[in-house]
Amino acid sequence: MFPTIRTVRAPEESARAFVYRVLSMYIRELFLRPGEKLVEGNVAHALQVSRTPVHDTFSRLIREKMLQPAPRGAVVPPLNPDAILQLIWMYRTTTVAVLGELYNSRPASLEVLEHCVADQYKALRSGSTVQMAGLERVFLTELYTLADRLPVLQALEYTGTDLYRLLRMMEDERMWKFIVDCHTDLVQGLALRNHEEAVTALEAEYDLFIPLLEECRYRFPSFFQGA
């Protein structure tokens, strides 16, 4: 259930922080699949901690909507299509505003974004689509950081992980190549101070997420609410 390589506890890490880090990562990355039940005692045994930090972490993850309560434990919730559509709209609207701020603030360098895009192309060339959702998240983080709006992104991420989990299902290299090409055009638009090009690239990426949602509902019906 919990491969050792992903559950090494840092010397200074509290039991609660350790359990939260492992469980939240496993839920986000779909190592724990929607509908899978977790029992407190089993998790405590697997992570070699007492049941108290596991119980506290279950409560926290339930508050954050990353788990649902169940007898003697909790269940990984299914993805909510309506919530995903709302998240797509929220991310699109907010990120367009961030591009506007970057256009007005004229950052001295876009090198950090260029490095992100280079890392994405490198992962694609290696055939490692499993990395792409995480690299997409890194790109957004650097984009918002450049505009000094990282707390806004963190607030968006706190509203739910369903959009990220959706992207983790996407294994089609051509679709990921399209998204990374959009990132390239976005950075080029910022570099040339062509706001329209940057926004068009961003909206092309988010337009792709809606048919992606329908495809994933067809391929993985048990992962979604109402299946």
CA angle 99, 104, 110 (to 5 degrees): 60
pLDDT value, residue 5: 45
Domains and CATH numbers, the chain: 4-75 (1.10.10.10), 81-223 (1.20.120.530)
Q: Is pLDDT at 149 greater than 80 in this prediction?
A: yes
Distance CA(54)–CA(121), nearest Å, equals 38
**What confidence score (pLDDT) does residue 158 get?**
87
Would the pLDDT of 2 be above 80?
no
- Condensed to tens digits (0 to 9), the pLDDT of residues 192-201 reads 999 999 999 9
Q: What's the rounded Cα separation, in Å, for the pair 13 and 146? A: 30
**Residue 65: pLDDT over 50:** yes
82 in the Ramachandran plot: left (φ > 0), alpha (ψ -120 to 50) or beta? alpha
Taking residues 68-73, what's their average pLDDT?
Answer: 90
The pTM (predicted TM-score) of the whole model is 0.90
